[in-house]
């Protein structure tokens, strides 16, 4: 009987159970249909829509701006916070896994940009533009602070389960010259 290797794969080679070209075997699991041979009742395969990191940040800013406008015109003080939290939830779920790192640091910045834009519009006709803008910013940020924490925490928690730690490791490797 020939001697067996005790040390694992050769350097630079993948283990025997990993295909070196990245292909998978396409073996259907029990209870699931194969993707290659759909049944007659199956339509085209559904794909979950994905956003880029920039698209997710833009969605958060637009939803937040819309929430601020609704709060101003309809008198619903919770509208900006609810809109921001929903946008964070949707962004964390719909953003591509590779873009989670850029999305995870951006929600407070996107909300701040939306508040500056909205309060700037509200302060346009006033005599003391700067004073009105600063007071509007301070009061809006103070009343929405708990929602900001909730939305940002949602992005981080969902991001952790969708691959954020791997993105952080990859960034660290690139910064340290390992890749």
Burial of 60 (0-12, 13-18, 19+ CB in 10 A): buried
Q: For residue 22, is it within any domain?
A: no
Percent helix, strand, coil in the chain, to 5, is 60, 0, 40
Q: For residue 145, is it within any domain?
A: yes
pLDDT of residue 117: 95
DSSP state of 5: P
Residues 6+ apart with CB under 8 A from 155: 88, 91, 92, 103, 104, 107
Q: For residue 65, is it within any domain?
A: yes
Structure tokens at 126: 């006033």
Query: How many CB atoms sit inside 10 A of residue 29's CB?
Result: 7
The C-alpha atoms of residue 161 and residue 159 are separated, in whole angstroms, by 5
Q: For residue 75, is it within any domain?
A: yes
CA 142 to chain centre: 24
pLDDT of residue 6: 57
pLDDT of residue 44: 72
Question: How many structural domains does the chain have?
Answer: 1
The C-alpha atoms of residue 51 and residue 141 are separated, in whole angstroms, by 27
pTM: 0.71
The C-alpha atoms of residue 62 and residue 54 are separated, in whole angstroms, by 12
Q: For residue 174, is it within any domain?
A: no
Whether the Cβ atoms of residue 86 and residue 40 lie closer than 8 Å to each other = no
Instruction: Give the residues of the chain that fall short of pLDDT 50.
Output: 34
pLDDT of residue 174: 87
pLDDT of residue 59: 95
Q: For residue 44, is it within any domain?
A: no
List the domain range (segments joined by +) for residue 132: 53-165
Q: For residue 17, is it within any domain?
A: no
pLDDT of residue 11: 58
DSSP state of 75: -
Residue at token pair 């009343």: 143
Q: For residue 107, is it within any domain?
A: yes
């Amino acid at each position: 009987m020939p001697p067996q290797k005790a040390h694992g794969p050769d350097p630079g080679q993948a283990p025997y159970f990993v295909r070196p070209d990245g292909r998978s075997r396409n073996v259907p699991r029990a209870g699931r249909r194969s993707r290659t041979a759909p049944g007659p009742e199956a339509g085209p395969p559904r794909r979950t829509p994905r956003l880029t990191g920039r698209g997710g940040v833009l969605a958060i800013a637009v939803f937040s701006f819309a929430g601020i406008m609704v709060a101003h015109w309809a008198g619903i003080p919770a509208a900006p916070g609810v809109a921001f939290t929903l946008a964070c939830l949707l962004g964390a779920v719909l953003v591509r896994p590779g873009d989670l790192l850029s999305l995870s640091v951006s929600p407070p910045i996107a909300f701040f940009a939306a508040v500056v834009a909205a309060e700037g519009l509200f302060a346009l006709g006033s005599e003391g533009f700067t004073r009105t803008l600063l007071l509007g910013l301070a009061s809006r940020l103070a009343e929405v602070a708990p929602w900001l924490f909730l939305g940002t925490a949602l992005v981080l928690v969902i991001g952790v389960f969708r691959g954020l730690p791997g993105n952080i490791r990859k960034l660290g490797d690139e910064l340290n010259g390992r890749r």
